[in-house]
Structure 1
Amino acid sequence: MKTDSSKRAIALLCMVSLVAAMASACSGTEASHPPSNGQASAAPVTLSLIQPDGGRVWKDDNPVTKMIEKRTNVKLSVNMLPNNDFNSKYNALAASGEIPDMSRLGSFDYQKFVDQGLFLDVTPYLDQFAPNLKKNLKPELWELTKYNGKQYVIPYENAAGKEVPVIRKDWLDVLNMKMPTNLDEFEQIMKAFTYRDPDRNGKDDTYGIGTVNTYAESFMPIFGAFGISPGMFANSAPMNSYLKDNKIYPVAISSEYKAALSYIKNLWDAKVIDPEIFTIKSDQATQKAAQGRIGYFNAWWSFAPQTLGQQLKMKEIVPNADWEPVFPGIKGPEGKSGMLSFGNLGAVVAISSKTKNVEAILRFLDYLSTDEGWELSHYGIKGEHYSDMNSGRTPVGQKAFDEKWLDPLSQIVSRQELGEKVSASSKDPVQLENNRFIEKAAKYNLYKDVFYGMPLTDEQKSYGPDVAKYEEEMFIKFVTGKEPLSKWDEYVATWKRKGGEDLLNSKIKTYNTLKSGKVSPGI
């Protein structure tokens, strides 16, 4: 039998525990260290993750990811694939039906896999296991990524303007030329970059236009000057389109597209485009830019300041190199200019329907969405990799960043408002340099696909890859002269016959259903 004193001790202990629990529940703050299965001493749960590398590498002994694992009581098994190979390899993996616990996919790529039963509807679990995640991501993002009314993915917020055309400002200065503002000026500058020895090395070894990733990106601002953006080629879900006078027009067979092709072909004929642009691998193309062989490219905002400036240390190779955003843009014959809108969804994370670790996965993602988790996954360990977010990285942190292993998990959960807050108040010279490009990317006129975010149609799944492949093949043939633009009508007819027309009609049907509209095809 318990004594009176022991009973009072137990009662007092229970009361203290109750008060502590109530204080925690009423505080309204995020949980810094989300529990894992309610067992502080439980063995870590092994979770598998697949994602594009995003210019990063995975290190099993990374102290940052080790700390995240400790805070969330998990052990991560991560497969990071090169960006250019990710989709094809993931498609093969999905076809087998065996996917990791978590898949980080591009924007709406998940839609083609949902009907295969690969992904889990997380709706019933978010409130219980991921309250911070649910709260910290904007309601419109959750709504945008619903599929047939269910939530199969966790959205990753993106700034709609992400790419920046950049030019060698030091070459402009050497040649006594100004930043191009229209297509005529742009053409003259590209010729000067190619033929007037802008690096003053006495060699004929430079080109005006090059690439650092995919060739299609470098031509984006040119298409924008004609009022369109075809999006990225070789996409399994093509059909970037625009709405005009209650009709929808596919960009790839529009008159504006043809006019842009004609302009690009003239640049090709003038030999101001790197002749390897259609065949060179992205890492080789990046090295060529770092070596000072090209004077202009368009790519993700981070390529000039980070990939070339910080990681490849271009200034050590070419001391005078000065990449500057082409801003406010290159205007076309009707005064138009612009870039592709990537929309406000940058990626998603999907959870396997076969996973046995739903709670552990969501608690892990929930932690990454907290202020503490976001800061750790983006900047590393405070006091070791950075002193504070505004002052920038320590030498140790900068070395880790340059070696590309510091922040691979920063790609999993976004907190756009935190990133913007840090950027606005930063004192870090590196961040200030990044800001020059980030801010310009956000300020361009952006062309948004009228079908952005709409579910894939059966026709899109069936015909999309073939139509995209045909568009890419013919783009290269028209530009290089292997097919004359006089065959344009034949190209359009073939595009329709290969499934383009059926694809367009199916998407318009979906558009009218979801938006209660009455638009019709413009072809």
Structure 2
Amino acid sequence: MRQITRTRAASICSLSLLAALTAACGNDNNHSSNNSESPSASASTNASSPAASEQSKDPVTISLTEPDLGRVWKDDNAATKELETRTNVNLKVTMYPNNDFNSKYTVLAASGDIPDLSRLGGFDYQNYADQGLFMDLTDLIDKYGPNLKQNIPADLWDLTKYKGKQFVIPYENVAGKEVPVVRKDWLDKLQLKAPTNLDEFEAMLKAFTFNDPDGNGKNDTYGMGITNSYSETFMPIFGAYGIAPGLFGGSTPMASYVKDNTIVPVAVSPEYKAALEYIKKLWDEKVVDPELFTIKSDQALQKVAQGKIGYFNAWWSIAPQQLTQQLKMNEIVPEAKWDPILPGLTGPDGKSGMYSFGNVGAGMAISAKSKHPEEAIQFLDYLSTQEGWELARLGVKGTHYTEWTAPRTDEGQKAYDEKWLDPLSQIVSRVDLVQKLGEATKDPVEIENNRFINAASSYTLYQDVFYGVPLTDEHKTYGADVAKFEEEMFIKFVTGKESLDKWDDYVEAWKKKGGKSVLDSKVAKYNELKGTQMVSGV
């Protein structure tokens, strides 16, 4: 499993970040709200309109389709009109609801009549690339996209190559999304420090469960609980053993890592078994909420908000937004304070880490039939400049905002609240500018959000070796059954309904369920795309 240490923090202002992350969580889409003094643009970034020297030419029409990601399209959007003027284009934009976008786009692709520009989630372009729908952008980017090439990290360009061709311009995602969090006020009351390893973590959970951390004289708290998915809450433990199982299918089913030229599936690895043994010990010690495997997410959140849980691991926004702002936990439990566990939990071999959600949030493809591919690239290239990025995300300076650190103007806030101000902000990413925007904020609410955003980006991240590799036919056939079997056996092993002495039987059953067929097919596909000679690890 590839390890990624994210040193570039994702300090992204809360409101528009939440909208983007919710839509992307997968696509993380992955993210700005308040404004700060504009950071100086890179000296090599051309912030002028790509058509500045050609304004005598008639503007060209460029069609574009994208998921709405919580936005609405407004034809008379002043920011869009200004963007069209600066780039000498007329935009014809169609947005579909997030949950309907893929089905709508599949119909377009089947007809062979797609827009000039398509914003597709993650690696979805791979589903269509072999149909000849998209243009190889390599030469166009070299010639017309200097800012795109400079501002998008090199590893994203490499990740999004398909059979040696560059069919999309990648949209950078922030790979670290989740944070292990703890009741800081409970730690203080029990005179404990935040845990740094699994032994200290176990001791903390015991104290939170049995030492009356809320001081009500009742035995009614648990060290570990959940807010959404129980597989998430165990992720830092798996990370302490150097693995990330992929959330039982989640966004990267059949999560695997490389060892000695061999691709090993996490769910049947020795490290996974060791992590299971540790988790079972916690279960047997009764420091885990006994409803953890059965409770619904809204009920779990309420239990946490009522002050019954001392630790959970989940999306960065749960503690500062859902618990504090939406569920108003501090009105229920005034003393409650949540802190990220930093730098993370270290395991017996000194490893520590979290699940990587991947750094490719989307991809912009250009139709092979486009009559204006050069202008399309120039348009996207302008969006990658600081000037273009500000306009697409924040609106017209002086109308929608004044300075980055200042609140939006009344007009800008109204436009943002009505969700039509920044629909083009999801086309080209500038994570570095988003970070500077977050660092400059003076809003205490957003400062609190950024504590958790930055924590999520600070952990070592374990990336599935198959990240970006298209699903195989075998995976489509057997993958869901294999994932379901993994989940069922995880619960049985942890709760003791199945002894870990039967581990070898589990591995053999996993193979027969289709695990080996899926793995072998994915390894073959990996070798085909990467030009390697990896072998299957089961």
> In structure 1, what is the equivalent of residue 153 of structure 2?
138
Code of the residue aligned with 1:447 in structure 2: it is: Y
Letter of the aligned partner of 1:300 in structure 2? W
Query: Partner of 1:163 in structure 2?
Result: 178
User: Could you list the per-position Cα deviations for residues 188-221 of structure 1 after superposition, in whole angstroms to 9, with x for gaps in the alignment?
Assistant: 3234434544344566664433334433222110
Aligned pair in 2 of structure 1 residues 44, 94: CA closer, same or farther (>3 Å)? Answer: closer
- Mark the CA change 1:445 to 1:39 in structure 2 (over 3 Å): closer, same or farther: same
Map 1:162-241 → 2, pairs under 5 A: 162-200=177-215, 206-235=221-250, 237-241=252-256
Q: Could you give the per-residue CA deviations for residues 145-167 of structure 1, whole angstroms, max 9, x where no partner exists? A: 11112223221123443432111
Equivalent residue number for residue 40 of structure 2: none
Q: Find the partner of 1:508 among 508, 523, 526.
A: 523
Q: 1:222 Cα shift? A: 0.7
Aligned residue pair count? 485
Check whether the contact 1:211–1:277 (CA below 8 A) recurs between aligned residues: yes
From 79, 84, 89, give the equivalent of 1:67: 79
| Structure 1 match to 2:96 | 79
The letter for the 1-side match of 2:126 is Q
Shift of 1:76: 4.2
Change (3 A) 1:226 1:178: same
The residue aligned with 1:346 is: 361
Show the counterpart of 2:24.
none
CA–CA distance in structure 2, aligned partners of residues 201 and 103 of structure 1: 57
Cα 1:233/1:59, change in 2 over 3 Å: same
More displaced 10-residue stretch of structure 1: 240-249 or 203-212: 203-212
Letter in 1 for 2:225: G
Q: Return the alpha-carbon distance in structure 1 between the equivalents of residues 357 and 341 of structure 2.
A: 19
Give the aligned partner of residue 22 of structure 2.
none
Deviation string for 1:345-404 (max 9, x for gaps)?
A: 333344677889978865664453231332244445545665422456679878987998
Aligned to 1:29: 46
Query: Residues 171 and 429 of structure 2 are in contact (CA less than 8 Å); yes or no, is this contact kept in structure 1?
Result: yes
Residue in 1 that maps onto 2:337: 322
- The match for 2:122 among 103, 107, 113 is 107
Residue of structure 2 aligned with 1:474, choices 489, 495, 500: 489
Specify the code of the residue in structure 2 equivalent to 1:68.
T
2-structure distance, mates of 1:285, 1:442: 25
Within the candidate set 58, 68, 72, 2:71 is matched to 58
Amino acid at match of 2:491: I
Contact 2:482/2:510 (<8 A) preserved:
yes
Secondary structure of the residue aligned to 2:314 is strand
Query: CA shift at 1:459, angstroms?
Result: 3.7
- SS of 1:389 mapped into structure 2: coil
Kindly indicate whether residue 308 of structure 2 is the aligned counterpart of residue 296 of structure 1: no
Report deviation, 1:309.
Answer: 4.4
Show the 5 A alignment for 1:139-154.
139-154=154-169
Task: Summarize the Cα distance change of 1:104–1:41 in structure 2 as closer, same or farther, 3 Å threshold.
Answer: closer
Name structure 1 gaps, 5 residues minimum. 1-26
Secondary structure of the residue aligned to 1:110 is helix
Change (3 A) 1:465 1:190: same
> Of the two structures, which has the highest relative contact order with CA contacts closer than 8 Å and spacing of 6 or more?
2
Aligned-partner Cα distance in 1 for 2:182–2:205: 10
Distance 2:396 2:216 in 1: 45
2:348 corresponding residue in structure 1: 333
Q: Distance in 2 between matches of 1:273 and 1:45?
A: 55
Which structure: larger Rg? Answer: 1
Q: Specify whether residues 133 and 262 from structure 1 end up closer, same or farther in structure 2 by C-alpha distance, changes over 3 A only.
A: same
Equivalent pair of 1:189/1:208 in contact (CA under 8 Å): yes
Change (3 A) 1:150 1:296: same
Alpha-carbon spacing, 1:424–1:274, altered in 2? closer, same or farther (3 Å): same
> In the TM superposition, what is the alpha-carbon distance from 1:491 to its structure 2 partner?
2.2
C-alpha root-mean-square deviation of aligned residues, in Å? 4.3
For residues 39 and 143 of structure 1, do their structure 2 counterparts lie closer, same or farther at Cα, with a shift above 3 Å needed? Answer: farther
1:250 positional shift: 1.3
Instruction: Give yes or no for contact 2:78–2:396 (8 Å, CA) kept in 1.
Output: no
TM-score normalized by structure 2? 0.73
1:111 Cα deviation (Å)? 2.5
Select the residue among 58, 66, 88 that pairs with 1:49: 66
Post-superposition Cα deviations, 1:95-115, rounded to whole Å, max 9, x if no partner, equal: 655698566555334334433
List per-residue Cα deviations over 1:315-339 (Å, max 9, x = no partner). Answer: 4554333221101211223332211
- Find the counterpart in structure 2 of residue 251 from structure 1: 266
Distance 1:38 1:238, change over 3 A: farther
Deviation track 1:74-99 (CA, whole Å, cap 9, x = no partner) reads 36443343xxxx5xx66655665569
TM-score by length of 1: 0.75
CA distance in 1, matches of 2:154, 2:232: 31
**Contact 1:32–1:370 (Cα < 8 Å) also in 2:** no
Equivalent runs, 1:453-472 vs 2, <5 Å = 453-472=468-487
Distance in 2, matches of 1:334 and 1:212, equals: 29
Structure 1 305/411 Cα, relative in aligned 2: closer, same or farther at 3 Å? Answer: farther
The structural deviation recorded for 1:179 is 0.8
1:493 CA displacement: 1.3
Q: Per the alignment, in what secondary structure is the counterpart of residue 414 of structure 1?
A: coil
Over 3 Å counting, the alpha-carbon distance change for 1:48 and 1:513 in structure 2 is closer
Counterparts of 2:470 and 2:155, CA distance in 1: 16
Determine if contact 2:156/2:172 at 8 Å carries over to the other structure.
Answer: yes
* Structure 1 pair 304–387 and aligned structure 2 pair: CA distance change class (3 A): farther
CA contact (8 A) 2:63 2:93 kept: yes
* Range 379-388 or range 499-508, more displaced: 379-388
Match of 1:267 among 258, 282, 286: 282
Relative to structure 1, the CA distance from residue 168 to residue 373 in structure 2 (aligned partners, 3 Å threshold; closer, same or farther) is: farther
Report if the CA contact (8 A) 1:368-1:413 is conserved. Answer: yes
Cα distance between partner residues in 2 of 1:450 and 1:406: 38
Q: 5 Å matches for 1:266-415?
A: 266-275=281-290, 277-278=292-293, 285-286=300-301, 288-309=303-324, 314-350=329-365, 365-380=380-395, 382=397, 386-390=401-405, 409-415=424-430
Deviation at 1:298, TM superposition (A): 2.0
Contact 1:252 1:471 in 2 (8 A): yes
Distance 1:511 1:77, change over 3 A: closer
Contact 1:229 1:340 in 2 (8 A): yes
Mean alpha-carbon deviation: is it higher for 497-506 or for 130-139?
130-139
Closer/same/farther in 2, CA of residues 28 and 350 from structure 1, 3 Å limit: closer
